[in-house]
């Protein structure tokens, strides 16, 4: 099926409609074909060579029969939405570091470079008065420190976190589990509008327009929520809370988890307390505990220090070999082709800038 458009973004949007083509298979298509237009117009043999299995090929053929890439791009633009590829500079930097980043994100509103300095705030959909209070307290203190609040636009803790960030004059990003035109829950559409209209936030999703939020979309959504942030804060959550998906994603991605202790008599605090009891997250009683663990004072200062990095080629080389998995100084030295003594000095400066963290003797990860 020929389409009168050579714009790669249009084809990226078209591929986002195809079930069964995630990060691994998208990389396979990008490696196999000279362009996504060529991939879209390909045939079964080439798709198999790119790593697509039979169900994915069936889904792609069905999508190709009914989707016009040019029309879908126009529809996105008509909604005022920006489609951001994982190759674009506007794609959240921290999200590129996880194992399965979305090949394409849809953003409605303003995504900013400073959102790299963010914390996910998550928890129960039925917070107690205590849960609401601590969510407001932590969100306000994190905003005051210059961090962006990221959450999932759900009832309860998510909504309180977004509301507090807006009221405090800070930035907030809502990661949703369906198309931006199919927001859930419907009662939070006004909150979503406030996030966008404030000019200090955005709605983000990997799902194209028209996608209704299904139950299995939410765990997938949570990996984005955890992946684009420095760490995840649980303010109040039950033992069987969906919050566990976000916590698990954060831990799998090598990100920090923080938990506010709750009353031992409250079912809504069982999950938050269990995180602490099992050593999965750090007990925190104020935002200062989070800032200390992340080695952040004020975001403005962190941004100022980070901007100095490109001027030092050794620091840039060392940072380039670090990721979410711990790396020994000697291994970093070999990978970056830099003497171990210089690596140690570079790591000390990078740690001061909040760009790396020491997680064990001579072991470092990228923040």
Rounded Cα distance, 90 and 339, in Å? 34
Starting at the edge strand found earlier in the chain, the sheet holding 282-283 runs 82-85, 104-109, 201-205, 172-175, 148-151, 118-123, 231-236, 256-259, 282-283
pLDDT reported for residue 358 = 87
Statement to judge: residues 275 and 136 lie in one domain = yes
User: What does pLDDT average to over the chain?
Assistant: 91
pLDDT greater than 90 at residue 357:
no
**Which of 84-98, 306-320, 344-358 holds the top average pLDDT?**
84-98
Q: Give the three-class secondary structure for 232.
A: strand
Q: Is residue 16 part of a domain?
A: yes
Token pair of 97, please?
A: 């570091």
**b/e string for 292-317 if b means 16 or more Cβ within 10 A?**
eebbbeebeebbeebeeeeeeeebeb
pLDDT 10s digits, 102-138: 999 999 999 999 999 999 999 999 999 999 999 999 9
Specify if 196 maps to a domain: yes
Q: Do residues 158 and 122 share a domain?
A: yes
Contact 280, 252 (CB under 8 A): no
Q: What is the domain range of residue 60?
A: 1-78
pTM for this prediction? 0.81
124 is a domain residue = yes
Task: Check whether residue 118 and residue 261 sit in a common domain.
Answer: yes
Report the CATH number at residue 156.
3.40.50.450
Q: What pLDDT is attached to residue 310?
A: 47
Section 280-290 average pLDDT: 96
pLDDT at 324: 73
Whether 23 and 104 have beta carbons less than 8 Å apart is answered as no
pLDDT, mean of residues 44-73 = 96
Task: Say if residue 22's pLDDT is above 80.
Answer: yes
Does the pLDDT at position 254 exceed 60?
A: yes
Residue showing tokens 């859930």: 184
The 3-state DSSP composition of the chain as helix, strand, coil percent (nearest 5) reads 50, 15, 35
By the 8 A CB rule, do 131 and 236 touch? yes
In this prediction, residue 5 carries a pLDDT of 39
Query: Which pLDDT band, with edges at 50, 70 and 90, does 298 fall under?
Result: low
Burial class (CB in 10 A: 0-12, 13-18, 19+), 251: middle
**Does residue 196 share a domain with residue 252?**
yes
Residue 305 pLDDT = 57
Q: Tell whether 83 is covered by a domain.
A: no
pLDDT value, residue 1? 39
pLDDT given for residue 314 in this prediction: 87
Residues 33, 29: Cα–Cα separation, whole Å: 6
Residue of higher predicted confidence among 313 and 23: 23
Residue 85 lies in a domain: no
The set of long-range contacts for 56-61, using a CB threshold of 8 Å and a minimum separation of 24, is 56/18, 56/19, 56/20, 56/21, 56/25, 59/18, 59/19, 59/20, 59/21, 60/18, 60/20, 60/21
91 in any annotated domain: no
Give the contacts of 52 (CB within 8 A, at least 6 positions apart).
Answer: 20, 21, 25, 28, 29, 60
Residues 337 and 230 placed together within one structural domain of the fold = no
Domain membership of residue 119 (yes or no) is yes
CATH number at residue 361: 1.10.10.10
| 121 shares its domain with 11 | no
Number of domains, the chain: 3
Distances (CA, A) of 278 to 116, 272, 273, 274: 29, 10, 9, 6
Q: Is the pLDDT of residue 359 over 90?
A: no
Percent of all residues in the chain with a pLDDT value above 70, rounded to a whole number: 94
Query: Residue 80: which region, alpha, beta or left (left: phi > 0; alpha: psi -120 to 50)?
Result: left
Query: Domain check: are 150 and 263 in the same one?
Result: yes
Beta strands 118-123; 104-109: pairing state: unpaired
**Is 94 domain-assigned?**
no
Q: Please identify, among 31, 58, 78, the residue that sits at the C-terminal boundary of a domain.
A: 78
| Same domain, residue pair 20 and 139 | no
Q: Does residue 209 sit in the same domain as residue 271?
A: yes
Answer yes or no: do 118 and 192 share one domain.
Answer: yes
Helix (H, G, I), strand (E, B) or coil at 170: coil
Rounded to an integer, what is the distance from CA 215 to the centroid of its chain? 19
156 and 251 together in one domain:
yes
* Packed helices 69-78 and 8-15: angle between N→C axes, nearest 10 degrees: 90
Average pLDDT of the segment spanning 239-247: 89
Reported as a pLDDT band with limits 50, 70 and 90, residue 6 is very low
Quote the tokens at residue 19: 């079930």
Task: Grade residue 289 by pLDDT with cuts at 50, 70 and 90.
Answer: very high
Q: Are residues 336 and 194 in the same domain?
A: no
| Mean per-residue pLDDT, 11-28 | 96
């Amino acid at each position: 099926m020929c389409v009168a458009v050579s714009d790669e973004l249009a084809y990226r949007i078209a591929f986002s409609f195809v079930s069964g083509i995630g990060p691994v298979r998208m990389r396979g298509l990008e490696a196999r074909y000279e362009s996504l237009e060529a991939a879209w117009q390909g045939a079964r043999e080439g798709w198999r060579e790119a790593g697509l299995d039979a169900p994915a090929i069936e889904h792609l053929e069905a999508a190709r029969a009914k989707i016009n890439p040019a029309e879908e791009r126009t529809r996105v633009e008509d909604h005022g939405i920006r489609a951001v590829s994982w190759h674009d500079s506007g794609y959240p930097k921290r999200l590129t570091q996880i194992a399965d980043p979305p090949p394409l994100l849809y953003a409605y509103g303003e995504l900013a470079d400073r959102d790299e300095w963010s914390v996910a705030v998550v928890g129960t959909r039925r917070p107690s008065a205590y849960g609401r209070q601590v969510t407001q307290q932590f969100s306000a203190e994190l905003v005051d420190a210059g961090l962006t609040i990221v959450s999932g636009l759900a009832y309860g803790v998510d909504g309180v976190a977004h509301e507090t960030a807006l009221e405090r004059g800070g930035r907030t990003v809502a990661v949703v589990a369906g198309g931006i035109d199919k927001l859930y829950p419907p009662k939070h559409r006004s909150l979503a509008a406030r996030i966008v209209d404030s000019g200090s936030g955005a709605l983000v999703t990997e799902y194209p327009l028209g996608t209704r939020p299904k139950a299995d979309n939410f765990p997938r959504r949570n990996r984005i929520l955890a992946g684009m942030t420095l760490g995840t804060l649980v303010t109040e959550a039950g033992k069987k809370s969906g919050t566990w998906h976000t916590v698990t994603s954060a831990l799998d991605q090598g990100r920090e988890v923080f938990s506010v202790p709750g009353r031992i008599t409250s079912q809504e605090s069982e999950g938050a307390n269990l995180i602490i009891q099992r050593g999965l997250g750090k007990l925190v009683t104020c935002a200062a505990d989070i800032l200390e663990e992340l080695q952040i004072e004020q975001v403005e200062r962190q941004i100022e220090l980070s901007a100095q990095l490109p001027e030092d080629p050794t620091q840039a080389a060392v940072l380039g070999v670090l990721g979410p998995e711990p790396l020994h100084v000697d291994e970093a030295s070999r990978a970056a082709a830099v003497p171990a003594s210089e690596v140690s000095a570079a790591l000390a400066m990078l740690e001061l800038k909040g760009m790396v963290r020491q997680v064990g003797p001579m072991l470092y990860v990228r923040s």
